[in-house]
Structures are given as structure tokens and as C-alpha cells.
Chains A and B, each alone.
Chain A
Amino acid sequence: MNVLRLAWKSLLNRRDTASLTVLTIAVSVALLLGVEKVRSHARLSFANTVSGTDLIVGARSGSVQLLLYSVFRIGNATSNVAWSSYTDISTWPGVRWAIPISLGDSHRGYRVMGTSTDYFEHFRYADKRRLGFSEGGPFAETLDAVLGAEVARKLGYRLGDELVVTHGIGTEGFGDHDNHPFKVTGILAPTGTPVDRTVHVGLAGIEAMHMNWNRVETDLRRARGQDLTPSQITAFLLGLDNRLAAFKLQRDINQYGAEPLLAIFPGVALQELWDLMRVGEQALRVVSILVAAAALAGLLAVSLAGLNERRREMAVLRSVGAGYRHVMELLIMESALLTLVGIAMGVAMQNLALRALQPWIVERFGLLLPIGLPTAGEWPLLGGLMTAGLLVGLVPAWRCYRNSLADGLSTRL
């Protein structure tokens, strides 16, 4: 029986306090890992929202605001971009593709985005992945709609269903354009981005709706060659032939003569936005680290409180030949074992909790948090906690050493 087994048996003997200590450590580990997981995946899914777009162009406002409404469908544009500016810039040399975006309407709480079919062709998310259709295909007719995965799932829409778009962005808009329903022609595969929560229609569809035309009427007027080209849009996305040209193009757009425009790099704006949220992120992290510290303080308190009643045990161990080193090893080993078991239990708890909550988290936040062993990013946290547990063990070990020096071989205490 080495000191490790001795420590194990000693802990089993005090299993009530030991298991409580392990439980507090486990809870703190589960929390720490949970926070870390949410943090890293929120960040990842955040960075995944847009990819492959070199510039986003909108009316002059702030870069974060432009990013928020054009990509995250949060907030509104303060002013629009003239259609002529869009058509002009999209023909500039170096521009490979341009996707117009027209926002401002909604359907039962989900934003409606007017765009062109180029959107399905060129828009990329995550690691340059293109949008895929789980059913149907892009809109073809003026009053066709393509639904994001969540919109279809939550509202129970199938291909061919009709939906009514509301002007404005609340659930109850200022007036339903109810005599001109859109027809679902496509449902996108899930992306884990705001695309899932968007109803996509053609720009012409937005125009037709605002002119209060119904489906039959629209077809008739179109047949008569009536123009459904919008006069203005909200923003547009640009893809370039050469990313190095982006800086020059950005400057040119920012100095565009016809109207004040703003061009932003999505990556830079994402970073700016994430920096804004960093305070919250760090606060979350600090809280979970403090919880871990509290658990270790509990471990320390339990170890120190037990020392006095263990002075006899130590004297007996000394009498059978244990040196100070053994006695100190025993106490450090006990702390180490408690921390180790606590960490293992915490990892298990975190996985069990995640297994139970995962459907809800996916539904509510669109975050698919992985279940399983800690990831490379989490090991250092656990390692740090293990080290802290060992360091905490040094305190009772030192105290015990002092006691042993004073007590010698005496069991009459």
C-alpha cells in the first residue's frame, strides 16, 4: 500500500465530507466547462454568420450597425441605398458579384429579406459553405419565397404553402399585405446562422407587395412589361476578384459622389462587435472561475478542519516509520484525489446536462454544443484547476508537518 492508496482509503473513511467536497468541485467544473463551451461556440457561430463576402455596403452610419442589420437582421437601417448606386458599383472593375438586400418587412416575427437569386449562388457562411436547399429551390416568380430552416420548422411550412408578409417588423405589423400571399418554393438547409430565421423573397416581390398587387395582377402587369425594379435597397454585399483590391474599393465607395455610402469589411466589423460583447463574455468567465475558487476554498477548509482530529493518526503513521515527507504526501495526495475525482465528475455532469439540454439550446440559440471529452481549449482550464487543487493541498500538508514536529510520537492529545 503506497501513500496514494492510503490517501484513497482515508478519503473513503471520511466519505461524507469528501463527497460533498467532490460535489462542489464537480459543480464548479461543470459550470466552468459549460461557460467555456457556450463562449467558444457562441464566438464560432458568430464568426460563422458571414464568410466569403469581401465588403458590405450600406447608407452611411456605423460599421457595427450596418453589420447588425445586414447580416444579423437586428435593428434597422437609418437610410437606404439608391438602386442606381448599387447597379453602378456592381459593374465596377474587380467586382465579381453583388447581392442586393432589402429589409423592412416581416412574417410572424421573422424578418423578410428581398434579394436576388445571386444570394443563393454567392452567399457563404461558416467555412465558405454555400447555402443548400433541403427542399425546393430558389424563387422564380415574383411572389415566391424561400424559407430559412427555422422559419419552416417553427411555423410548420411546406413547399407550396402560402404566407402573408407584414409591413414592419413586429408580429403584428402596420397592415398585412394580405391579398398578395407569397408561395413557398424552397426551404433552406439549417446553417446555424441568421439565415435560418429569414424569409427570402425576390426584390420584385417586395415591390409588388408594397404596390398592393396580388398574384394574378402581378403576372398581368409583368406581362405588360411593367417595371418592378426597386428605387432603393437597404444594403448590398460584394464579392471581389482580388481581396487585395478591397481596400481601394472600400475607399472609393466611402468617397462615392452620388450619395454618402459606407463599405465595411465583415471580418473587421465582426471583431468590433465581438469586442463589444467581450465584457459580458469575460464577466461570465470570471464568475465561473470564482465559483471554482470557492470550491477550492471549500476543499481547503475541509482539509484544515480535519487536521486536528487526525493528529493521532499522524503520530501513529510517524511511529510506524512514516517520515514528514510521507505525511505531507498523504495530505497533498488527498487534495489531489478530491480535485481529480471532482473534475472527472464535473466533466460527466456537464455532459449529462448538455445531453438533456441540447435540443433546447439548439432550438433556442442555434448553438450545437458538442458532447464528449473536453476539447483542446478546455484541458488547460482543467489542468489549471488540478494544479490549484495540488497547491491547496500544500497548505494542510505544511500545517500537518508543523503539527507532527510538535507532537512527535504522542497520541495523547
Chain B
Amino acid sequence: MREPTPDVNEELIEIENLRFGWPGAAPLLGCDRFLLRRGEHLYIRGPSGSGKSTLLNLLAGVLTPDSGRLSLMQQDTGSLAAAARDRLRADHIGFIFQQFNLVPYLNLAENVVLPCHFSRRRATRAAEAHGGVTAAARLLLQRLFVEEELDPTAPVSRLSVGQQQRVAAARALVGDPEIVIADEPTSALDFDARARFIELLFEQVQASRATLVFVSHDPTLAACFDRTVDIDDFRAETRP
């Protein structure tokens, strides 16, 4: 696998003439051209059920286009085997879900370091920057829980949803992946928690110079981002 060299204008995700549809259904997604550059903070607006999950699965290399090209870190996902795409995702993408982010049988720190077990690259980076994956995890947890004392070895079952989301953010950021994809990470949070979470997420994304892809149907958040696209721009019906 080719290791891409970091570059400010580097294209992390590139889409050309993409078409995707579930078998037996009309084409769902279509996109002629889309670029995601390093350092961008992209907001994708779209309600649930608009093909958002499918788009994220394509961006993460879990699904591949029916036709056209989707390159992730300059590699055409359509031409890679499933295992290679899994490695690509492990190495370069951090994921935050709407909720249920944490593995119930792992403690806080173990949840955070989880990506480092599937990606040697992220493990190495965490170790180089902080002296070890656990140290990296503890640092991220400290930064995301500035006003709270948190035991990294505590089970995750007693955390509030807001706390769980912050642990998930720490996990998405550990080992400095190039891309952080957040799929409605705030929709399960109340207003105060939402604002606090966005603030902390931006701080840490900036600190690790990651590229953020944020999907939400909450238009009030759009203002925080330097680029906004609509999910409709990726939909097949709008581009006949």
C-alpha cells in the first residue's frame, strides 16, 4: 500500500462520476465530482433516510461504487479487496456515531485505544507523539473531559450519553487519522451538551490537524464549518 505524503492541498477523498444503488432498487447516490482536501471542515446537511448512511459507508470504504471512482487517500476503493479497504479505513478514518459508540465490555481507555489494535500506523503515531497508545488515550480523555475527573479504567456503562460521545471523539482522534467522520454525533445530546461537544471536537480536530466530515440535519450547526454541502448533491435523482 502506498503511503501518501502529507500535503496541505492533498486530496483525501475524491469522487468522479460515482453511481451507487442497492440491488433491485433505483440508483440512490450519484455524484460527478467531489473533493475533500486536507484540513477542511465539511458539513453535510441531510435528514435521516436520505442515503446519508450509504454515503458514509462509501466514504469509509465499506461499500464500493457501482460505477465511477471513489478514491480514499489516493486509492481507488473499487479496485481494492475488502480487507485492504478495512486497513485503509483503520489507518486513516476515525468514526463517531450518533450513539452506542462504545464497546460495552471494554473500559474507557480500552475503547479509546481500540483503533490502534487494528491499525499499526495509528498505534505508531500515538506512540511517537505520546510515548504509548495508552498515554495518548489518557491525554485525549483529559482534553475532552477538562472539567471532570475521569477514571480511564472505569467501565463505560455508567457514562452519560454526552460523556460517551466524548469518549467516542477521543477514539476517533487517537493516532491522528487524516479524516474524522461524525455521523450526527450531537443529535442525542441536549443543547448545552451539544455546544460543549462541538467546541471540544473542533479544538481536538484542529489540534491533530484532522479533516472533519460532519453529517447532521441540524442547520444551526452549519455556521461552524468552512464548507457546507447538501446530501441532495450526492443523490441520484437530482442528477438525471
Q: Could you list which residues of chain A lie within 8 angstroms of chain B, going by C-beta atoms?
A: 1-2, 6, 9-10, 12-14, 312-313, 315-326, 408-412
Q: Quote the shortest CB–CB distance from B134 to chain A (angstroms).
A: 11
Are A322 and B86 in contact (CB-based, < 8 A)?
yes
Are B62 and A324 in contact (CB-based, < 8 A)?
no
Are A409 and B100 in contact (CB-based, < 8 A)?
no
Q: Tell me which of A10, A12, A321, A323 contacts B82 (CB under 8 A).
A: A323
* Number of CB contacts from chain A to chain B under 8 A: 80
Are A408 and B118 in contact (CB-based, < 8 A)?
no
Are A9 and B53 in contact (CB-based, < 8 A)?
no
Assess A408 versus B53: contact at CB under 8 Å? Given A316-B100, A319-B97, A320-B118.
yes
Interface of A is mostly: helix
Are A319 and B86 in contact (CB-based, < 8 A)?
no
Contacts of B103 in A (CB 8 A): 313, 316-317
CA distance A317 to B99 in the complex (A): 14
Q: Could you list which residues of chain B lie within 8 angstroms of chain A, going by C-beta atoms?
A: 53-54, 56-57, 60, 62-63, 82-83, 86-87, 89-91, 95, 97-106, 110, 113-115, 117-119, 171, 183
Contacts of B60 in A (CB 8 A): 319, 409
Are B57 and A319 in contact (CB-based, < 8 A)?
no
Instruction: Closest B residue to A319 by CB, please name it.
Output: B95
Q: Tell me which of B56, B102, B119 contacts A316 (CB under 8 A).
A: B102
Q: Quote the shortest CB–CB distance from B60 to chain A (angstroms).
A: 6
CA distance A312 to B97 in the complex (A): 10
Instruction: Closest A residue to B171 by CB, please name it.
Output: A320
Are A321 and B90 in contact (CB-based, < 8 A)?
yes
Q: Quote the shortest CB–CB distance from A4 to chain B (angstroms).
A: 11
Are B98 and A409 in contact (CB-based, < 8 A)?
no
Q: Quote the shortest CB–CB distance from B75 to chain A (angstroms).
A: 15
Q: Tell me which of B53, B62, B90, B105 contacts A320 (CB under 8 A).
A: B90
CA distance A326 to B86 in the complex (A): 10
Are A312 and B115 in contact (CB-based, < 8 A)?
no
Are A316 and B90 in contact (CB-based, < 8 A)?
no
Q: Which 4 A-B pairs have the closest CB atoms?
A: A321-B90, A13-B105, A321-B118, A323-B86
Q: Quote the shortest CB–CB distance from B181 to chain A (angstroms).
A: 9
Q: Quote the shortest CB–CB distance from A179 to chain B (angstroms).
A: 82
Are B118 and A326 in contact (CB-based, < 8 A)?
yes
Assess A322 versus B118: contact at CB under 8 Å? Given A13-B104, A408-B53.
yes
Instruction: Closest A residue to B118 by CB, please name it.
Output: A321
Q: Quote the shortest CB–CB distance from A408 to chain B (angstroms).
A: 4
CA distance A237 to B192 in the complex (A): 100
